[in-house]
Amino acid sequence: MEQNYAKAFRIIRAAFGLKQSELAAKMPITASQLSLIEAGKRQPSLRVVNALATAVGVPAALISILASAPSDVASKSNEDIADLARVLLRLLVSAKEEPQHALKFGD
């Protein structure tokens, strides 16, 4: 499975309204390193993916879903994909508004 973490990192940063320097300050990487990841010139380590998840208060699995290639969801209907996109966007927005409560699963 091919993951596009550049896309996932850009989506998450945009959803939270953060500049690269602001997001990098919350993670164990520099803004330059984040820029390279978002440009697709570097792949993030699992440690960096987990740091992004922690920095914005979302599950690391959400980042992996956002990084999924179109071929990963090719067998799904356009309606299913649109539904998933809406749910993911709501999760991101709710996490931004209430990071300490928004994404608690199993409660």
- Give pLDDT, residue 102: 42
Domain total of the chain: 1
In a domain, 74, yes or no: yes
- Whether 26 is in a domain gets the answer yes
- Residue 103 forms part of a structural domain: no
Please give the pLDDT value at position 96. Answer: 64
* Torsion 84-90-93-98 (CA) sign: negative
Residue 16, domain extent: 5-97
Q: For residue 18, what pLDDT is reported?
A: 95
pLDDT at 74: 65
* 26: CATH: 1.10.260.40
The vertex-62 CA angle with 58 and 67, nearest 5°, equals: 130
In a domain, 91, yes or no: yes
Q: Is residue 19 part of a domain?
A: yes
Structure tokens at 53: 């998840």
Q: Is 107 among the domain residues?
A: no
**pTM > 0.95: yes or no:** no
Rounded average pLDDT per 10-residue block, the chain, 107 residues: 87 92 97 97 96 91 83 68 73 64 40
Residue 84 domain-assigned?
Answer: yes
Q: Is residue 64 part of a domain?
A: yes
